[in-house]
Amino acid sequence: DGPLGFDRASRTERWGVATDAELAAALREPGLAWLDVRSDAEARAAPLPAALRVRRCPCTMFSTAELARRAPALLPDKAAPILVFCAAGGRAEEARKCLRGLGYTGSLTNGGGPDDLAAVTPDALAAAAEQSAAEGCTSSPWCCAA
């Protein structure tokens, strides 16, 4: 069993959590923006590498109002790829729906939770952090947009 007692396959079916292949493809996309919709406590308990420059905007399964308000500043390029994640995938799916409704047209991947991201490859997060750091502020609109 995974987060909330749901295994990965049931979370993929229920909330559209990306498969391993979809996650691996998303992690390779240039200019990938990371959006963490977990609570502050969840983010503190399982932090991601700082080099990923993760944008944070907590959401619930019932409200994405704060994301709708903050999205233009957090994610200014509506055509860029975005990897949205929470703890299990439900809030990430609600955030994806919100972003689509706001006109975001780039690939929006529901990454599930940090354990799902780390499971893609043993070093997936480290490799993604390395890619983000290599892109730097001059080539990535996401670096200074937090």
- pLDDT surpassing 90 at residue 101: yes
Instruction: Give how far Cα 65 sits from Cα of 19, 34, 74, 81, 132, Å.
Output: 28, 19, 14, 21, 28
- The answer to whether 80 and 141 have CB atoms below 8 angstroms apart is yes
Residue linked to tokens 């749901």: 6
pLDDT, average across residues 5-14: 84
- Confidence band (pLDDT; 50, 70, 90) for 137? very low
| pLDDT tens digits, one per residue of 32-60 | 999 999 999 998 888 877 777 889 999 99
From the list 122, 62, 58, 47, the residue with the least C-alpha distance to 84 is: 58
- pLDDT surpassing 90 at residue 94: yes
Residues in the chain: 146
pTM: 0.82
- The answer to whether 89 and 112 have CB atoms below 8 angstroms apart is yes
- pLDDT surpassing 50 at residue 144: no
pLDDT attached to residue 115 = 80
Q: Residue 138 corresponds to which tokens in the numbers above?
A: 């001059």
pLDDT attached to residue 124 = 66
